[in-house]
Amino acid sequence: METSAAAFNQQVSRRSFLMGTLYGAGGLALYAGEFERHWLEVVHKEVGISGFSADFDGLRIAQLSDIHLDEFTEPFLLREAIDEINQSRPDVVLLTGDYVSAQVLTPHRTVEAAWQCGNLLKQLECTQRYAIFGNHDIWAGEQHVGDALKFNGITVLRNSCLPLERGGGRIWLAGLDDPVCGRPDPDQAIPPSIRNITSEPILLMCHAPDYVDVLQRHPAGRAISLVLSGHTHGGQIRLPFLGPIRLPPGGRKYVEGLFHLGTTQLYVNRGIGSVGVPFRFDCRPEITVFTLRSI
């Protein structure tokens, strides 16, 4: 009888453990899939720029990245992100790639997602809106993504640059083609004519952050004051003591946050979307609002 009772208790304990594990896993999936994945964080960063003109001191830049609309990112989450940016009243909005996901939806649905994304981004109240492509945009068809952005008043920079002027001051905004599957050309994006001009620093949008190491060895790259990237999703799912369980090529060294690399600073935004699985854990979706200061 004692043996039977012990066996019964062991069976109950095993069943209780399994049920507890299942409930725990279910609760974790619910949290990661429904709560944290939709829990936007607005990160405010003050960044000092050497040689920054006094006319631009206090310039506010909002960065939105890695939307991945309609893979798992619902339109309501993008609308919420746009509302948060509008409330921040930035002077410039920079969109650093991956508006849709490639090879997830049918080609027709992907094109629809690109236009839906562009139509929603038109609700950004800031008139200075600039974008670059990410790897998913090129895989999905950069022509469709580019048309959707341009039609909605967003300037796409692809190995090109333009001046931003305020008062008597000027800074340069440059955008590279995606380093993972595009053809980035630093000499076109940052031509010699704009490099190292006193009081005219260069800000660069580059989707994949690890490319900054290539830029550090290039004359164009050494003229950059600030690089804004995305691509990594901050790891998307980060486990205690282990960190991110998966990082994409081009985003394995610089995962999130601000890095000081000599005279260049790099910021890696976690993005608002998810890929692969509809989960985020210990890695909330991010909008970044920078205030640039002269130092």
- Give the mean model confidence (pLDDT) for residues 134-154: 97
Boundaries of domain holding 281: 40-294
Cut 0.85: pTM above it:
yes
Same domain for 44 and 33?
Answer: no
Same domain for 136 and 211?
Answer: yes
Q: What is the DSSP letter of 73?
A: B
Same domain for 22 and 140?
Answer: no
CB atoms within 10 A of CB 239: 11
pLDDT at 105: 87
Same domain for 273 and 213?
Answer: yes
pLDDT tens string 180-193:
999 999 999 999 99
pLDDT above 90 for 33: no
Same domain for 13 and 132?
Answer: no
Same domain for 186 and 217?
Answer: yes
- Give the mean model confidence (pLDDT) for residues 16-23: 44
Same domain for 34 and 165?
Answer: no
- Give the mean model confidence (pLDDT) for residues 237-260: 96
Beta bridge partners of 131: 95, 156
Task: Say which CATH number the domain at 201 has.
Answer: 3.60.21.10
pLDDT tens string 207-221:
999 999 999 999 999
Same domain for 19 and 119?
Answer: no
Is residue 31 very low, low, confident or very high in pLDDT (cuts 50, 70, 90)?
confident
CA distance 140 to 125: 27
Could you please report the per-residue DSSP string of 18-46? Answer: HHHHHHHHHHHHHIIIIIGGG--EEEEEE
pLDDT above 70 for 81: yes
pLDDT above 50 for 8: no
Phi, psi of 71 (to 5 degrees): -75, -65
- Give the mean model confidence (pLDDT) for residues 250-256: 98
- Of 198 and 87, the structure prediction assigns the larger pLDDT to 87
Is residue 23 very low, low, confident or very high in pLDDT (cuts 50, 70, 90)?
very low
Same domain for 118 and 9?
Answer: no
Residues whose CB is less than 8 angstroms from the CB of residue 272 and which lie 6 or more positions away in sequence, other chains included:
40, 64, 65, 66, 67, 73, 77, 78, 81, 285, 286, 287
- Give the mean model confidence (pLDDT) for residues 77-99: 98
What is the count of structural domains for the chain?
A: 2
Same domain for 141 and 56?
Answer: yes
Same domain for 76 and 129?
Answer: yes
CB contact at 8 A, 162 and 155: yes
Structure tokens, 59: 């310039």
Same domain for 263 and 158?
Answer: yes
Is residue 34 very low, low, confident or very high in pLDDT (cuts 50, 70, 90)?
confident
